[in-house]
Amino acid sequence: MTRHYLTIVFRAKIELGDVTPHNIKQLKLLNQVVFPVSYNEKFYKDVLEAGELAKLAYYNDIVVGAVCCRVDTSENSRRLYIMTLGCLYPYRRLGIGTVMVQHVLNYVERDGNFDSIFLHVQVNNEGAIDFYKKFGFEIVETKKYYYKRIEPADAHVLQKTLRPHNQTSTQ
């Protein structure tokens, strides 16, 4: 008797979707679970107006992650600030974070007018630091007591430089 085995190849579907008034509660819940800090109503109000700079990540139609950014024009440059980028723990290492970072990189490339992308990461979050380094981010500064009410309170500033700063450098 011969047996025939059916091999099923299951391809996960990772998609990004807009943050809307209808799904903002999902973003709030996700952020509460993923991040040790809480975000205020102004954060969520700004996210609703962020357009392409705020996306929910879906894994087979389930919300499992999100990325929220804003344009920062301090320090005489135009930079993209990644406010949050996170994924639920059971769904990490499946490429979801990479899809979100790639969305951000594509956005700044299409725009063509950003000097850099930056974000803050808790100094003990080695997984996140290693993740961002894969995309060319570097630790450029460490801010003491950046976080309130969480330990450690210090944060690394990670930055990916897209074009040299306009100031003349002395080398």
What is the fold of 14-161? Aminopeptidase (3.40.630)
Would the pLDDT of 169 be above 50? no
Q: Where do the domains of the chain lie? A: 14-161
For 68-118, the pLDDT digits (tens) are 999 999 878 999 999 999 999 999 999 999 999 999 999 999 999 999 999
Q: Is 81 annotated as catalytic?
A: yes
Task: Name the band, by pLDDT with cuts 50, 70 and 90, for residue 123.
Answer: very high
Q: What global pTM score does this model have? A: 0.88
Q: What average pLDDT does range 9-25 have in this prediction? A: 91
120 catalytic residue (yes or no): yes
Q: Of the residues 39, 81, 146, 147, which is catalytic?
A: 81
Of 59, 71, 72, nearest to 30 by C-alpha is 59
Phi, psi of 30 (to 5 degrees): -60, -50
Q: How far apart are CA 123 and CA 70, in angstroms?
A: 22
**Active-site entry in 39, 58, 103, 120:** 120
